[in-house]
Amino acid sequence: MEDLIVRYGLAVVFLGAAVEGDVTMILAGVTAHVGLFRLPSAIALGALGGFAGDTVFFALGRRHSGILRTSALYRKAGPAIERFTGRVGELQIGLARFVYGTRVASMLFWGVRGLPFWRFALIDAAGCALWAVILGGLGFSLSSSAELLIGRVKRAEIWVLAGFAVSLALVLAYRRLSLRWRRPTDDGPPSRP
C-alpha cells in the first residue's frame, strides 16, 4: 500500500480510504510527513474516500433492502443490530468507522432501514472527518514508528473484536441457561408419600 501511495499519491489515499481505510490513513500521514504531499490534502481526500465508500454500501442496502431483509444472515443478525442501535441510535454510523469489522455491515444496515440520506450523510461525514484527522495525524506525528503503530492498531482491533465475541457468547449462554431454569417441568405436581 505504501508503494502505491508514494507512486500515485492522493488518488490512492482516496481509493484506499474508500475500500480499506485505517492503514491507508496512517500511511497517508506518514507520506505527508516525508513531504510527498500536504497533510490537510491527505486528510480531506481520506475523509472523502471513506464517505464515498460508506455511501456505496448505504445505497446498496437501500436499493436491495427487500433481498437483504429476507436473507438468513439478516434474519439472524438483524435483531441484535436493532437492539444495539436502539441504545446508541444513529450515532452508530460514525462510531462504526472506529470498530474493526463493523463499517460495511453498519452502512448496509442503515440503508436497509431506510434512514434518510441527508441524515446518514451528516453523521457519516462527521465520523469520516474525525477518523481521517485522528489516523492521518497519528501517521504524521508518529511517522518514525508507523509500522509499529499499524501492527498495534490491527492487534488492538482484533482483541476488541475477540472480546466482543466472547462477551456476546457469554451473554447468549447465560440467557439460554436462565430460560431453561425458568421453564416449568411437565412432570406435574410433586407426589406426596
Answer positive or negative: Cα dihedral of 41, 2, 54, 106.
Answer: negative
Choose the weakest-confidence range: 52-61, 111-120, 157-166, 183-192: 183-192
- The pLDDT assigned to 3 comes to 64
**Cα 147 to Cα 182: distance, rounded to the nearest angstrom:** 53
- CA angle 63/116/59 to nearest 5° reads 25
Of residues 164 and 85, the one with the higher pLDDT is: 85
- The pLDDT assigned to 86 comes to 80
The pTM of the full predicted model, rounded to 2 decimals, is 0.68
Answer for the pair 140, 34: CB distance below 8 angstroms, yes or no: no
**Cα 45 to Cα 30: distance, rounded to the nearest angstrom:** 15
Judge whether residue 100 has pLDDT over 80.
no
Of residues 90 and 101, the one with the higher pLDDT is: 90
The domain locations on the chain are 2-143
The mean pLDDT value for 121-128 works out to 94
- The pLDDT assigned to 150 comes to 58
Band the pLDDT of 51: cuts 50, 70, 90. very high
- The pLDDT assigned to 123 comes to 94
- The pLDDT assigned to 92 comes to 85
Please name which of 39, 46, 22 lies closest in space to residue 101, comparing C-alpha atoms.
22
Judge whether residue 133 has pLDDT over 90.
yes
Question: What percent of the chain is predicted at pLDDT more than 70?
Answer: 78
Kindly state the cell numbers that stand for 31. Answer: 507520506
